[in-house]
């Protein structure tokens, strides 16, 4: 999704109708908005801040992605009345629009334009998941890290004073490693290689991409 995400893709009248039935709330960092395996509940539209979407199995967490402003979480369980399939946790302070499941379902019946945007959103997620599976099967850790950095640059990057693209990482190196599908040590070595090639610079929870073309080539 783009930076505007689901909310930006809605027609103005549909977005207004959604806001009318939702309640604005704020959350601090490291707050769980959706718990995996819980019963279906409210739908959340992010207005500010980022969250991680993860799945837990055998006591281990695998990060599936990062959602940011304008994006929708928790809608699948609300639509098919199934248990939550993922856990969604804030990575930083978040402002969100929270919509009760009953209000959300009624809104979809009244406004098919919203349902169409949700369908497109789900299709994008499926393509993203398919692309990740291919990356895990065909790319090394450097390639997968490059893919994730490109995604962060596209969605959350800002121009840096040295002409590069700077991304503030909202998560720890362990969490980044989980998203890449590698160990922390493997991601550390991949960063070391990218730094030695002057493709990136790193700081505390910050990455500056110096050569976006070289990073794209590393991502395959």
DSSP type of residue 4: S
- Radius of gyration over alpha carbons of the chain, in Å? 18
Q: Is the pLDDT at 12 greater than 50, yes or no?
A: yes
**Which pTM was predicted?**
0.84
Q: Residue 59 CB: number of other CB atoms within 10 A?
A: 5
pLDDT of residue 79: 86
Q: Is the pLDDT at 189 greater than 60, yes or no?
A: yes
pLDDT of residue 184: 93
25-55 pLDDT tens trace? 999 999 999 999 888 889 999 999 999 999 9
Average pLDDT, the chain: 91
Q: Residue 95 CB: number of other CB atoms within 10 A?
A: 13
Determine the 3-state secondary structure of 40 from DSSP. Answer: coil
- Give me the count of residues in the chain: 220
125-172 pLDDT tens trace? 889 888 888 888 889 999 999 999 999 999 999 999 989 999 998 888
CB 73 within 8 A of CB 84: no
Q: Which of 78, 70, 23 is nearest to 51 (CA)?
A: 70
pLDDT of residue 1: 36
Q: Which of 8-22, 43-57, 72-86, 180-194 has the lowest average pLDDT?
A: 72-86
Rounded to whole angstroms, the Cα distance separating 152 from 141 reads: 17
Three-state DSSP string of 100-121: CHHHHHHHHHHCHHHHHHHHHH
Pairing of strands 158-159, 72-73: unpaired
pLDDT of residue 152: 93
CA 150 to chain centre: 13
Q: Is the pLDDT at 102 greater than 80, yes or no?
A: yes
- As a whole-number percent, the residues of the chain with pLDDT over 90 amount to 71
């Amino acid at each position: 999704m783009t930076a505007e995400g689901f909310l930006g893709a809605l027609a103005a009248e549909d977005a207004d109708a959604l806001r009318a039935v939702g309640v604005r709330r704020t959350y601090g960092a490291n707050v769980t908005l959706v718990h995996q395996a819980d019963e279906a509940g409210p739908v959340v539209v992010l207005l500010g801040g980022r969250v991680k979407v993860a799945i837990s199995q055998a006591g281990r967490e695998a990060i599936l992605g990062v959602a940011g402003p304008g994006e929708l979480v928790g809608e699948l369980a609300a639509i098919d009345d199934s248990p939550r399939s993922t856990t969604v946790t804030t990575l930083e302070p978040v402002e969100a629009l929270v919509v009760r499941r009953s209000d959300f379902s009624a809104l979809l019946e009244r406004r098919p334009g919203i349902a169409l945007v949700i369908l497109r959103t789900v299709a994008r997620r499926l393509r993203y998941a398919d692309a990740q599976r291919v990356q895990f099967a065909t790319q090394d850790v450097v390639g997968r890290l490059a893919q994730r950095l490109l995604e962060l640059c596209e969605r959350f990057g800002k121009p840096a004073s040295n002409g590069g693209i700077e991304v503030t990482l909202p998560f720890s190196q362990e969490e980044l490693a989980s998203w890449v599908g590698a160990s922390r040590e493997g991601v550390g070595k991949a960063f070391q290689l990218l730094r030695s090639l002057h493709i990136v610079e790193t700081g505390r929870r910050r990455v500056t991409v110096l050569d976006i073309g070289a990073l794209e080539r590393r991502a395959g």
